[in-house]
Amino acid sequence: MSISKFVAPEIIFGLGALSQVGESALRLGATRLFVISDPGVVANQWVEKAIARLKEAGLSFEVWFEVTSNPKDYEVVEGVKQYLAAGCDAILAVGGGSPIDVAKAVAILATNKGVIQDYEGVNKITRPLPPLLVVPTTAGSGSEVSQFAIIVDTRRKIKMTIISKSLVPDIAIIDPVVLQTKDARLTAATGLDALSHAIESFVSLAATPLTNVHALNAIRLIARYLRPSVACRTNLEAKAAMAMAALQAGLAFSNAILGATHAMAHQLDAQLDLHHGETNAILLPYVMEFNQLACVEKFAQIAEAMGEDPAGLSIWEAAEKAIRAVRKLAGDLDIPEKISVESLSEEYITRLTQNALKDACIITNPRDVTERDIHHLFTLVLKRGRAGD
């Protein structure tokens, strides 16, 4: 047992929790908030509702809604400029993983020098950040509780992974009501993103008893509630369960880090501007097949958490059920089995592979990976689909 660290924000969870935005901002000592969101979320009026609470609390604010999916380095540059020009002293992010990650990146550069590339990797942030309050509008990224921010370096065409305890938001306000405006496709993709967080952190080399308990519970909740959550926008029981699942998966991966699925997904997202949740969902079963050699007992636990019955099965058979259950869930939610791209050169796959091997997430993958292994996995997912198909 090595020494592990576990960090989490203050968490406010429940139907109607959005009402806590003003009081929470006050408690953080904020007087003027920089409100970050994206146009989709703004259209659903969640930002308007959050702002109404800031007004009630007597707080001033400046809004900035220019964030895109797979957020880019130049967006961060623009955000920091606006933040400083507006004279704000705290940040409120309302949105999915992209606005929250941009909020973290803006927070870094608001009080630390240089460019966002300087903070790629682990623990590069030296100065304290402005208070950060987040309201997730998807159940997936886990960014509301994590010490991760993922920003695209547009020149290198890679996703940079920035990890630091100071990126854990001060307060995460999680209101399942907000999830009701997500369409089925986004619900599925973000839910499977949460599943990939839970599974990768559970088998991570940095997993601890404290991360495992969250990871396993997230898997249980997703197996039971993701299908009904995708099937029905107004199923609040399913929305609340998925919000909790994304939160617990976030606590798990924030502290246990991830694995090859994410190291590879980060490259594909950046190169092809795919939805991160879908990329993960497609990659996950392939990487699980590869990792099975390293963690058959944990896979058997995953199978049970996915609702499979291990009675009468060998541990190897139970482990295989985990992979089949993940494939079945993704299939039920119309996730394709491979990523469709036109004509990929070997050189292109080699570049993806080399970048994946440099990603911070690869270090905690439970099975040792070689360049050949990752190249083979990229080839499967980009060209061939399931072996033998």
Token digits for 369? 């990976």
Minimum distance from residue 84 beta carbon to its own copies (Å): 25
How many C-alpha atoms does 375 have within 13 Å on its Cβ side?
11
CA-based max dimension of the chain: 65
5 contacts its own copies (rule: CB under 8 A): yes
Reduced 3-state DSSP string for 252-276: HHHHHCCCHHHHHHHHHHHHHCCCH
Task: Say which residue the tokens 């933040």 belong to.
Answer: 83
Interacting span for its own copies (CB under 8 A) from 41-49, 52-60, 240-248, 287-295: 240-248
Minimum distance from residue 5 beta carbon to its own copies (Å): 5
Count other C-beta atoms under 10 Å from residue 347's C-beta.
8
For 78, counting Cβ atoms within 10 Å of its Cβ (0-12 exposed, 13-18 middle, 19+ buried), the class is middle
Token digits for 368? 């040792």
Minimum distance from residue 199 beta carbon to its own copies (Å): 17
Minimum distance from residue 17 beta carbon to its own copies (Å): 5
Q: Whose Cβ is closer to its own copies: residue 8's or residue 281's?
A: 8
Minimum distance from residue 1 beta carbon to its own copies (Å): 5
Please name which of 139, 191, 180, 201 lies closest in space to residue 332, comparing C-alpha atoms.
191
Q: Whose Cβ is closer to its own copies: residue 15's or residue 341's?
A: 15
Minimum distance from residue 29 beta carbon to its own copies (Å): 10
The sheet that has 121-122: what strands, in order across it?
121-122, 158-163, 148-153
3 contacts its own copies (rule: CB under 8 A): yes
Binding residues for its own copies restricted to 182-221, rule: CB under 8 A: 208-210, 213-214, 217
Q: Whose Cβ is closer to its own copies: residue 212's or residue 280's?
A: 212
Token digits for 203? 């088998």
287 contacts its own copies (rule: CB under 8 A): no
Q: Whose Cβ is closer to its own copies: residue 217's or residue 261's?
A: 217
Q: Which of 165, 383, 384, 386 binds its own copies (CB under 8 A)?
A: 165
What single DSSP character describes residue 361?
G
Binding site for its own copies (CB under 8 A): 1-8, 10-17, 19-20, 165, 176, 208-210, 213-214, 217, 240, 244, 247-248
